[in-house]
């Protein structure tokens, strides 16, 4: 319940500013999973402190409270789904395809924490067909064999960082899955993440 309370404690005025993103059609979706390496994806070292600082600066430019969700890090998005466990993403892939999204590859991010190297794999889906890549069996297996702890964020992104709002904005959704569990043979997922119009919902399994 702690995560849900944190979401509900965001001031109403802050939530209202952020949730306007749900009036936009999503143009890109990023799915991150706790996988050290997925075959064929390039590896990228990232600086978490620098990224957090950049998100804080972006929040200031947008007139937002970067710490509104009390996550210990800066953000600018609207939290649609917060910490639901044992969720399958099987349905999501088909729904993205039916909505005109194309798999566009991804990357493996790595960073240091307490002297250890941590990883996550990020898969990109976009309405821009020119970026399309082949969806490999390795990627498909991740969504058929695992359930995840799921957070979903809807975010505005500047089309041109230098121009800011004057250069226009688009909607980018991020589906963050910090934990995963491999299903046993013949085991069915407890619940599914589904796209519901411009938002998302959790469907309990029958």
Q: Express each pLDDT in 152-189 by its tens digit.
A: 999 999 887 777 677 789 999 999 999 999 999 999 99
68-105: burial string, b at 16+ Cβ within 10 Å, e else: bbeeeebbbbbbbbbbbeebbbbebbebbeeeebbbbb
* Assigned domain for 6 exists: no
- Residue segments in the chain with a per-residue pLDDT below the cut of 50: 1-4
* Assigned domain for 4 exists: no
Which parts of 9-47 fold into alpha helices (H)? 12-19
Whole-model pTM over 0.85: yes
* Assigned domain for 121 exists: yes
* Assigned domain for 69 exists: no
Residue 196 belongs to domain spanning: 26-44+79-204
Total domains present in the chain: 1
* Assigned domain for 1 exists: no
């Amino acid at each position: 319940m702690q995560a849900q309370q944190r979401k509900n404690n965001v001031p109403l005025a802050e939530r209202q500013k952020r949730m306007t993103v749900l009036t936009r059609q999503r143009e890109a979706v990023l799915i991150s999973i706790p996988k050290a390496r997925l075959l064929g994806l390039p590896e990228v070292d990232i600086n978490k402190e620098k990224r957090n600082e950049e998100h804080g600066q972006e929040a200031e430019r947008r007139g937002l409270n970067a710490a509104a969700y009390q996550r210990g890090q800066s953000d600018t998005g609207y939290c649609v789904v917060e910490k639901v466990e044992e969720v399958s993403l099987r349905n999501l892939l088909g729904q993205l395809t039916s909505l005109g999204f194309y798999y566009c590859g991804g990357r493996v991010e790595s960073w240091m924490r307490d002297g250890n190297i941590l990883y996550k794999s990020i898969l990109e889906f976009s309405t821009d067909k020119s970026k399309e890549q082949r969806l490999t069996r390795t990627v498909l297996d991740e969504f058929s064999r695992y359930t995840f702890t799921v957070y979903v964020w809807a975010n505005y992104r500047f089309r041109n960082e230098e121009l800011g709002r004057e250069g226009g904005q688009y909607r980018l959704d991020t589906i963050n899955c910090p934990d995963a569990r491999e299903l046993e043979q013949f085991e069915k997922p407890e619940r599914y993440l589904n796209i519901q119009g411009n938002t998302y919902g959790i469907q309990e399994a029958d």
